[in-house]
Structure 1
Amino acid sequence: MGLVGGRSQRRLRLESLARRRHSTSSTLRTCRSSSSDAVESVNELGGAETASASPPPIDSSSKEKKKKSSALVSRIVTALVLGSIAGYVILGGGTLYAIFIGFIVLQCSLEYIGLMTSKNLPKGVRAPPTLVRRTMSLISVGMVAAAQQGIRTGVFEAASFVLLSMLLVRRSMKKKPKKKKVKFSELTMLVFGLFYCGYLPTFWVRLRGVSAMHAVPPPELVAKFLSWVKVEWTVGLLATFMSAATVVAADTGAFIGGKLMGSRPLISISPNKTVEGAGWGFFASLSVALAFNYWFRFPGNVSMAFGFAVAVYAASVFGDLIESSMKRAAGKKDSGKLLPGHGGLLDRFDSYIFTGVLAYGLVYWYYYFMGTPLTQLIIAPPR
């Protein structure tokens, strides 16, 4: 009996201890839940206060719009300044005009060198040595000076011979055997650079230098202005102005049309160009050519003006795409940073490089079939 009574007492003690533990754990749970609720309420209040005190979120789209509008303003201002300078030097002609073209050639050749020395070019492509590259820029400017003085035959051939000879000599002077070898990329970069940056722009000098007088007299207001600035009404002046104005209209029309309606990409080389922009550019260039023919009676008939607009527009688009392909190969967005809103000078004048030679050829053959002596179209007295 004593043993049984002792066991029952032990059971009672264990049960009482279990009840105490259970009550203690439940109390702790209650305290924890109340404290967590309090913390959550404090966090909610703090979060609400922080949310009310924090500034409103910045709209990234408005920032982007401001940036784009600022770039557009810079682009317009730069274009107006360049257009004013170009108009003045085209009117003046002669040495001033040749200096202007020479500056463009020098800067474009330097930007071209920047493209062909880019680190993003494919492996194995190597640019010519520094001295040869700089000589190419100087020779390109010299070709413009030669064109102004009427020296045109054999200039490109002689310049190519000099540059390639320099390349061979410079490579032979290198100490490392790998650098002694001339790579094919060096040859093509030099010859194309001389052709692209030096030879083709000389046709703008040739075009302005056409000294044959236009058969149709200018309108009265234009005649008064020309007499005031003492400029002759030559075929070269008219052809240069018409070519430049047609390219400007093509670029402007393509830019506006692409921004407003552009949806279908034109070509993979330049993804930003669209079919709609190209259509607007062609319409704008055609309108300028027809208006020029109406007001200034140049070239003299509607069919020739239409053909002139088509040819100049095609050459401007081709020049733009050629430069875009070079930038794409070099892994660069712009050729330089000289012009705000445009990039480099080569980015701005790429449309003009192939236009000059085509416009000169059209004028040459048009007046040839009209029976005008060739000497009046080719040889212009230096001014």
Structure 2
Amino acid sequence: MASHLEPNRCNLIPLSLTSLCACQCRPSPKTLIFVRPSAMRNLRLKSNGSVGLVPSGRDRRCGFRTPGGGVFTAVASTNPDRLDEEEVTEEALESGHQSVDMEKLVLERQQGGSQLKKRVIFGLLIGICVGGVVLAGGWVFTVAVATAVFIGAREYFRLVRSQGIAMGMTPPPRYVSRVCSLICALMPIFTLYFGHMGVSVTLSAFVVAIALILQRGNPRFAQLSSAIFGLFYCGYLPCFWVKLRCALAVPALNTNIGTRWPVFLGGQAHWTVGLVATLISFSSIIAADTFAYLGGKTFGRTPLTNISPKKTLEGAFAGLSGCIAITLLLSKIFCWPASLVSASAFGVLNFVGSLFGDLIESMIKRDAGVKDSGSLIPGHGGLLDRVDSYVFTGALAYAYVKTMLPLFGV
């Protein structure tokens, strides 16, 4: 009985030839014949005393003699239908690749649209909640700041312990990171209760230094520096928002909104300089981020810095313009600050604080090798990604209102 072999999956056929081909081709000994799988679909190897390749359908034959006297007959199909099928298949593959690329492009655009939709929805919800917390002030505002500080500190120490940063330095132990996060959360409460932060920050730094020195193993300076910076960045700086909102309790007498504010909500005395300054500062930061994003998307051409490649000079200029415009608008509504120059300077200061706060957090994430500090807020990443523009701005705004505005006669 004849045995059949269908080499449909063969890409390479080695033949040891000692004689000339029966057709016009003249292969040399030990010739390697490369065959596409599509050209081998109609070949069968038949052995019944004499060895040969027997085709099916319309074909061309090419025979070779072997040393033992057998004959190999190579058959290549010339069926035009088969060739047409192969051509159609290649065209279909090309069109298939193009359709896959188009589907990927459409999918990416849909994902980008849904991501932008999430950002807008959650951004509005966060803005409404933050506005209510700022208006409430007192313990409500302080507890909200303390909660945000604790979450931000946990994200910061996770970044410090990430592989990208840990490869170049020794991160602090986990228990030290947790203690620092708890201390950062207590700092705003101490600020509201005591009115100052010097003693609490000094005591906290001393406790963290002792804990690192007494740990087992070999303490490293990198552990101390990253932990102390965490206390400063995540704990000390946000406390200035508590000082700005709650400590500046002087009534904003020129603010007309205070005269119409309900008595059961505090009346006109509720509208203090601290409340007005905090509302203007928060609004100007939001305007700076929004205008910078839109301006960079529309006109962005010149990179601002290597730390954050997506930021551009055009976007920064748009953010600065939007920040100053919103500050001037709100200063007219609240009648504070009184002069145009002082309001413009306040807007510039808020923009500088928000920009460099964002860049510093981007630098930390770049070294950590991550895109976002977390995934707490859909469409925005971690909490630290959302509040990085506020970290330094609170201290700058408080120093401006407390020290610089009296120079303008406010």
Give the 5 Å matches for 1:192-271.
Answer: 192-209=229-246, 210-219=248-257, 223-227=259-263, 229-230=265-266, 232-271=270-309
CA distance in 1, matches of 2:279, 2:168: 44
Tell me the equivalent position of 1:150. Answer: 194
Deviations 1:57-106 (A, max 9, x none): 23122221111111111111111111011000000011111111011101
The one-letter amino acid paired with 1:352 is Y
Tell me the equivalent position of 1:73. Answer: 117
2:338 counterpart of 1:296: no
2:374 counterpart of 1:336: yes
Do the aligned residues in 1 keep the contact of 2:59 with 2:76 (CA within 8 Å)? Answer: no
CA distance in 2, matches of 1:31, 1:240: 88
2:206 counterpart of 1:164: no
CA distance in 2, matches of 1:122, 1:286: 40
Do the aligned residues in 2 keep the contact of 1:218 with 1:233 (CA within 8 Å)? Answer: no
Q: Can you give the 5+ residue segments of structure 2 that lack an aligned partner in the other structure?
A: 1-21, 25-53, 63-73
CA distance in 1, matches of 2:274, 2:60: 98
The one-letter amino acid paired with 1:162 is V
CA distance in 1, matches of 2:262, 2:323: 25
Do the aligned residues in 1 keep the contact of 2:59 with 2:78 (CA within 8 Å)? Answer: no
The one-letter amino acid paired with 1:32 is R
CA distance in 2, matches of 1:270, 1:264: 12
CA distance in 1, matches of 2:59, 2:159: 74
Q: Can you give the 5+ residue segments of structure 1 that lack an aligned partner in the other structure?
A: 1-23, 175-179, 373-383
Deviations 1:261-306 (A, max 9, x none): 1111000111110011001100000000100111111111111001
1:133 aligned to which of 157, 177, 196:
177
The one-letter amino acid paired with 2:398 is Y
Do the aligned residues in 2 keep the contact of 1:286 with 1:310 (CA within 8 Å)? Answer: yes
Per residue, is there more strand in 1 or in 2? 2
Tell me the equivalent position of 2:220. Answer: 183
Residue 102 to residue 43, structure 1, CA distance change in 2 (3 Å): same
Post-superposition shift, 1:25?
5.8
2:105 counterpart of 1:57: no
Question: Which TM-score applies when normalising by structure 1?
Answer: 0.82
Do the aligned residues in 1 keep the contact of 2:142 with 2:189 (CA within 8 Å)? Answer: yes
- What is the aligned residue count? 339
Residue 30 to residue 92, structure 1, CA distance change in 2 (3 Å): closer
Give the 5 Å matches for 1:25-44.
Answer: 31-32=60-61, 36=76, 38-44=78-84
Post-superposition shift, 1:38?
2.9
Do the aligned residues in 2 keep the contact of 1:249 with 1:284 (CA within 8 Å)? Answer: yes
SS in 2 for 1:45: helix
SS in 2 for 1:32: strand
Question: Which TM-score applies when normalising by structure 2?
Answer: 0.77
Q: Which of the pair has the greater relative contact order for Cα pairs under 8 Å at 6+ separation?
A: 1
The one-letter amino acid paired with 2:275 is L
Tell me the equivalent position of 1:377. Answer: none
Tell me how large the CA RMSD over aligned residues is: 2.7
CA distance in 2, matches of 1:102, 1:25: 89
CA distance in 2, matches of 1:47, 1:97: 71
Per residue, is there more helix in 1 or in 2? 1
